[in-house]
Structures are given as structure tokens and as C-alpha cells.
Amino acid sequence: MSAPIGILMLDTGFLRIPGDVGCPETFPFPVRYARVAGASVGATVHGDPAPLLGAFVEAGLRLAGEGCIGVTTTCGFLSLFQRELAARLPVPVATSALLQIRSVAALLAPGRRPGIVTYSAVALTPAHLEAAGAPPDIPVRGLDPGGALATMIRGERPDLDREAAGRETVAACLALVADHPETGAIVLECANLPPYRAAVAAATGLPVFDAVTMIGWFRAALLPAAP
């Protein structure tokens, strides 16, 4: 049965490898993409994305009209649009991997809590956390802003040193756990980070949640019940 998930895609030119939400090979089910014109990393993450809301709504309506049973995005910072998109689209919406935080927290033992590893700790504001239902004091660690992965994303570069990106992601997660020993699970904000989830889990020994885990759960819940 074809039951595609619609994915609102930032207007970017950087490389999307398997495992990344922006790569269709990541998913064992059909997905449809809608690129949102003008939604660069600079405008969406490092600037004020509010003027782009209408374009995201328009693209989401287009995906729903093409038969998508739910809509998600390629950027965890779009938690800011969760309420608005859910209200204005005719299908369920899951904008950000950060939406998993409350559920992940409920899974952990007393005294343990989830932590976030993000593309940019500077850009991830209390407003993003509040929109996702995350506590304001949740531990957060960003990627090295001068590293291979962050440089690719912000610089719109079409090449990527995958081994370096994996090392940087693992290093950020280990630093998060070292700074916050109470961390019981990790949520990867950035939709470019799922290719490194297995390496993070192996290095930290912790459960790791990301945009791909969320989208799989999201689609499974939206499928019609089997006879």
C-alpha cells in the first residue's frame, strides 16, 4: 500500500547521504518532498523564520493534496512551526525530532533525563524547546561549528567528509554525557545526524532518538489498521 509521508525540505544545496531525512534512500517506505523556496539554513535556523511560515503551509498543503498521510520536515528547528502547521494542514504534522523529548523522558528512571545534541547550540533557543514541549533546563550540546558537518550545512557545501562528521557527532554526544552524567538518552535534533546514530549508541551506551526514529513511529501510527 502506498501511504507516503510528506517531507518539507529546506532550500539547501548540501549533500544528503543515506540516513539523512533529506535522502529518499533512508526510508523503507514511500516519501514525497516539497522544497520550500527561500528556506535556507541562514533564514530558517540563524535568522527569523516567521516570514517563511506561509511558504511552509503552502508546501504542506501541496503534499497533503498529493496523498501524503502526514507531514514532517528536514530541520529540527522547525519546532517553532509545530502548532501553526498542525492547525493549518489537513493531515498530522511532526516538525522536529525534538517532539520526542517528553516521551523519551517518560521512559527513563528517576534521576535520569534526555539530552539534546544539535547542529547549533547557539541557535537553539528556549522558544524552540518550548514549542517542542521540552523543559528549558534540558542539557544541550552543539556540534563543533568549525567541523566538517556544521561547515557543510551552514556553507551549503556539496561535499562531506563522512568519517569526520561521524567523529564530530560522537564527540558532541560524549561531551554532553560528560558534562551531564544524569543523561539517560540522547535526542539528535538535526535531520543530518541520523547516519551516525549507531556510532553514537555504541560510544555512549545510551538509547538514541532522532528524526528517522520519529518518522518511522509517526508513519506506523498513521497507517490504516490491518484487517
DSSP assignment of the chain: ---PEEEEE-S--S---BTBTT-GGG-SS-EEEEE-TT--HHHHTSS--GGGHHHHHHHHHHHHHTT-SEEEES-GGGGGGHHHHHHHSSS-EE--GGGGHHHHHHHSPTT-EEEEEES-TTT--HHHHHHHT--TT--EEEPPTTSHHHHHHHHT-S---HHHHHHHHHHHHHHHHHH-TTEEEEEE--TT-GGGHHHHHHHH-S-EE-HHHHHHHHHHHHSPPP-
> Tell me, what's the pLDDT at 1?
52
Task: Supply the pLDDT for residue 159.
Answer: 86
What integer pLDDT is reported at residue 227 of this predicted model? 43
Going residue by residue through the chain, which has 227 residues, state the pLDDT in tens, using 9 for 90 and above: 578 999 999 999 888 999 999 999 999 999 999 999 999 999 999 999 999 999 999 999 999 999 999 999 999 999 999 999 999 999 999 999 999 999 999 999 999 999 999 999 999 999 999 999 999 999 999 999 999 999 999 988 888 899 999 999 999 999 999 999 999 999 999 999 999 999 999 999 999 999 999 999 999 999 875 44
**How confident is the model at residue 31, as a pLDDT?**
97
CB 74 within 8 A of CB 32: no
Say if CB 44 and CB 75 are below 8 A apart.
yes
The structural domains of the chain, with segments of one domain joined by +, span 5-96+213-222, 97-210
97-210 sits in which CATH class?
Answer: alpha beta
- Please say whether the dihedral angle defined by the alpha carbons of residues 36, 40, 46 and 50, taken in this order, is positive or negative: negative
Q: Tell me, what's the pLDDT at 3?
A: 87
pLDDT number for residue 226: 46
pLDDT at 214: 97
Pick the CATH number of 5-96+213-222 from 3.40.50.720, 3.40.50.1860, 3.30.450.40, 3.40.50.10320: 3.40.50.1860
pTM of the entire predicted model: 0.94
Is there a shared CATH topology between the 5-96+213-222 domain and the 97-210 domain? yes
Distance of CA 227 to the CA centre of its chain: 33
